[in-house]
Structure 1
Amino acid sequence: MRKQPNGDSWIELLKELPAKPLDPTAEQEILRTLRQAGASSGREVRVRGRGRGALRLSLLAIVAAAALIVVASLSGIIERADGGRWGAALFGSRPAGHAAEISPLFDLLDKDGKVVYPDRLRGIEGKIAFSEYPGGFVANSGTTVSKVFWYLWGDRQRLNGAYLVAKAVSLDTGKKFALNETRLNGPIYGADANAVTRFNPFPSKGAWRIDVELDGEPYGSIFIRVKDEYIHTESSSFLVSKDDAETGATETSLIVQGHDMPETLDVIVQPADVSGQARKLTFLRAQEYIQGMEPVTHYSGSLEFDAPGKWRIEVLGEKTTVEVRP
């Protein structure tokens, strides 16, 4: 029969577990919650008592709590008593495939505390944030990351002129890529430093962590969710993410490669598993311009789906399918 681990074997077992470093906020919140849990159960862990036995019992309690924290961190999520979760926002790293706590949106304020742009910044309020594209970032889209503003708060002497490097890590696949590098400028609005830049496109949808360094030193991490790519064919793209395809009418833009295109463009939509129920939607030409060194024509119109399910879309003889939500 296997013996129940004693204090020394618990310690040895704990040493064998992989390291899972916590950031200071995580550490304090977990310790605070452990204290509250002890209080609610009528027990309190103290390194007090008479002799070595009391100290050993206290050590066992601490080791057991630490083991629970490590095991829970390995699973990526800790359930809290209030129904919430500790997740990616608390741990410096986490396995792929777990839900992330997305960093909040908040207002950009001027130096007098007045709102400049409401709900426009995503990040860590009072420390670091960036301006998020309306509707969020979209996978494989250069449009949604073409103009991004960084805003930082803190020691102006340290921040002004600092070199910022941002790396993105997919929490679903573990894939990493260089998101952005830029040099910070001085104060603007209520922020102590800023930069205008562009991000490299995100290669896939899902939860991502953006790790930021200033002059080679870690500064903060921001958690975001990237939407699925735009609905598109080989040479045209609707500015609607596949995640946003839903029943009803959605006013949108249609970007088509090339110039000298017709004034109107017909878009054919029909349920993918039903024949003979096609609808023709007319898009109107708005303007022509150069995008990424390529000529494109911008159309506007309404993309309409009558019911949920898989739909086929045809533009200029090219077809694609999309799953439509209720």
Structure 2
Amino acid sequence: MTDVEVQGVDQLTPNCPPGKRDMSGEKEPCRADMEEPLSLLVDVALATPCGDHAACSCDCEACRCLEVRRMEGSLQSMQLQLQFLMSKADDLQECLVNGQGHLKSEALAAAVPNFLYTCQPYFNHLESTTRNTVSQHTLLPFDMFTRRMQLLDFSQQLCDRLEQLVLTYASHNVLCLDETEPNSVSHFCIGQSQLGQLRLTAFLYCKPTPFLARVDTGLHKRMRWNVERLPDGEQQADEEEEREADTEYYLLCCEDIPNTHAAADRDSQGVSQGDLVTRMWSIGQWVQENPDTNDIYDWIMCEVPQANYHRLLFLGSDEPSSCSATDYLQQLLLARQTTEGSYTLQDEYVSNSAN
């Protein structure tokens, strides 16, 4: 790519202010003006291709037909947008790998986070189109299930490509993956969906990252979900503090478990070092310990938040894809929802402790 092309890539993405830190001490996705460059792509990604859910109030069969048509209308446009975003990722990587990164290293370092931000509306549209539907219909018709899987595959392809892009830049020391650094790109947002009064925002860590930044717990996080419990009725701007308190954090984590049988046979059978541990995956909840309040001053004074990891689901030794992991969490949340929407997984911990 030429210098002009490098500048063009940098202009693709809106300027993005530094993200604030959420209740787990990590950065939220930044908020920028969505009417910046690429606004056309953003508008298309957020638009409903066809059908109006509001027009379908009680006829479940009609609702299902509208959702099928909505997915059919999404497939072609979303595939085109996927090709566009993948090509831009290729451009950014080619610019770096071909030795031009040193000419505009600062611009390239800023272009990647901005490009990740630009991809968020695409992820959000895929997540809302596919996962919001699941909350309404537990058993999907085959044609609807097939289209859902196709759209989720688009999301997985882009997710994998962006992860590769970030890792490539990090290997060239252009980006930092250490989440303790203010300007690091340790993780990025891969979509938002809503299940009733629950709003899920998913993040992918570019590599397994310690559960606690400065304490070795043996756990490493690979994904995080911010699960917000929305209040009844319209949200009011002055309820921000209350809504923050209603946010829970769930994680996909891995842990290396010692293989006692392999260790016993190591000397006699020549077992390799890699066979001495087995990497196990699980989904659990971040349960805050310190600070134990939502007072902003307590958070400012706390250098590194502390928390425990409550395992909710063991997934075995095979790492799940980001889409599959979100499916697992969604099933956990749906299984524990009541008709009033007042039940939380934290209630289960309190109940179990009392027993």
TM-score range, shorter chain: under 0.3
> Which structure carries more helix by proportion?
2
Give the TM-score normalised by the residue count of structure 1: 0.27
> Which structure carries more strand by proportion?
1
